[in-house]
Amino acid sequence: MFQSQYIINQNDSNICPECESKLIQNGHENVCENCGLVIDSVLFVDSFQFNDTINSDLSTGDQFVSVGKTIDNICTLGSHIDFFSTKVFCDYKRKTISSNLQKKFRKLKSYTFPIKIKNHETDYRVLRILNSIIKYLGLSSIVKNRAAYYYQSIKRRSPSIRNHISLIGFCIFYASREFCSNAPVSIREICNIFNIKGHRVSPRLIIRDSIDYQKYLNKKNHPHRSEDYISRFINSIVSSPEVVNRMKKKQSIWTRAIYKNLLTNKCNFIIESINKGRKRSWNPFILAGATVYCADKLLAKEYDTKSILTQKIASNAMNIAEYSIRDHYVKILKPLFDSINL
């Protein structure tokens, strides 16, 4: 059985302390609808039990400390002797116990763990993969918990699961789309990390799982917009060693912090200038990368300086094919701004 609850830390009046306007929920944050001030966060709390029933006397604040009682981990506090990887045991005074007792506790530890995860070996393996992938991608624990919740929900409702590994890949992608402020990732990026970790997962499998299992989630996600990727790409640009060397070589008049702010403002201006219908017909991920490249061109023209980005440098920094940036820039952005005299 699942338990999920959103806990919102709001003030009593639900009013912005700055302009006294109403607070609204935007993603996982509470913000003022007038001035945009972020007041606090929305915390998502999940707990999962393998049992078919749950004691109604338990509240969501109770701590589950045995195997399988948390949604994103099977080996939790209290589920094994000492820490999970401990091989040398100490007494309550932190003194090493005798060799006979060491052998006894090692045997007990190796014997009891398989029993604790019995009949849940697949869940244990899949959730370990989830933790590894989330850590590699640098996503937040909110995305990890949500992905684990989706996995358990689909597993409980679907009559059969074709591939548990590709399913958890779909859940990671779906959860990252829900919390777009956590730097959304693409299907191909997720598949690349799975392949690095030794799991054969392709975009085709994740798309197949999306078609088969999305109906069990009872939740519709809106597709990402180019705006969602801008911040992530700009951070990649300003932290790239190639860009730093290029700024020194061209004797740029800006520091990296100033360049980052100028790029952000110019990208927002470009995105707002593109027709909405035209934006929908192009890949938002690549269009965001081409927008950053175009923003650098416009800044160079506006300040009468040398461009910092080349298509090759932008391609390496944002991990987008060079021809894709060129195609989107030439067909969409260049015609739009050629007539503008900045």
* CATH number of the domain encompassing residue 263: 1.10.472.10
- Nearest residue to 292 (alpha-carbon basis) of 243, 231, 222: 231
d(CA 275, CA 252): 32
Residue scoring higher pLDDT (23 or 7): 23
Residue 110 lies in a domain: yes
d(CA 285, CA 67): 40
Q: Are residues 281 and 297 in the same domain?
A: yes
Q: Residue 339 has what pLDDT?
A: 55
Three-state DSSP class for residue 117: coil
CB 120 within 8 A of CB 74: yes
Q: Residue 145 has what pLDDT?
A: 87
Q: Are residues 309 and 241 in the same domain?
A: yes
Residue 221 lies in a domain: no
Q: Residue 104 belongs to what domain range?
A: 80-116
Cα torsion for 51, 57, 59, 65, to the nearest 10°? -50
Judged against a pLDDT cut of 80, whether residue 82 lies above it is answered with no
Q: Are residues 279 and 312 in the same domain?
A: yes
Q: Are residues 261 and 325 in the same domain?
A: yes
The phi, psi pair for 137, rounded to 5°, reads -80, -15
Pairing relation of β-strands 29-32 and 23-26? antiparallel
d(CA 154, CA 22): 36
Residue 48 lies in a domain: yes
Residue 75 lies in a domain: no
Cβ atoms within 10 Å of 192's Cβ, excluding its own: 16
**Mean pLDDT of all residues in 123-143:** 85
Q: Residue 168 has what pLDDT?
A: 92
Q: What is the largest CA-CA distance in the chain?
A: 84
Residue 87 lies in a domain: yes
Give the domain-ending residue among 195, 216, 237. 216
Residue appearing with tokens 């956590």: 182
Residues 86-99 have pLDDT tens digits of: 778 888 788 888 88
- Nearest residue to 238 (alpha-carbon basis) of 253, 256, 255: 256
Q: Are residues 30 and 107 in the same domain?
A: no
Residue 52 lies in a domain: yes
Confidence of residue 186 (pLDDT cuts 50, 70, 90): confident
Q: Are residues 63 and 84 in the same domain?
A: no
d(CA 186, CA 194): 13
Q: Are residues 288 and 305 in the same domain?
A: yes
Give the domain-ending residue among 182, 216, 250. 216
Q: Are residues 52 and 98 in the same domain?
A: no
Give the domain-ending residue among 91, 116, 141. 116
Residue 342 lies in a domain: no
Residues 222-251 have pLDDT tens digits of: 666 777 788 888 888 988 899 989 888 888
Q: Are residues 3 and 53 in the same domain?
A: yes
- Nearest residue to 8 (alpha-carbon basis) of 20, 22, 24: 24
> E strands of the chain, at which residues?
2-8, 23-26, 29-32, 38-48
Q: Are residues 50 and 138 in the same domain?
A: no
Q: Are residues 12 and 27 in the same domain?
A: yes
Residue 44 lies in a domain: yes
pTM greater than the 0.75 cutoff: no
Three-state DSSP class for residue 7: strand
Q: Residue 342 has what pLDDT?
A: 41
Residue scoring higher pLDDT (37 or 129): 129
Residues 283-332 have pLDDT tens digits of: 888 888 899 999 999 998 888 888 888 889 999 988 888 999 998 888 88
**Mean pLDDT of all residues in 112-124:** 70
Q: Which residues pair with 7 in a beta bridge?
A: 43
Q: Please give the tally of structural domains in the chain.
A: 4
Q: Residue 47 has what pLDDT?
A: 39
Q: Are residues 204 and 301 in the same domain?
A: no
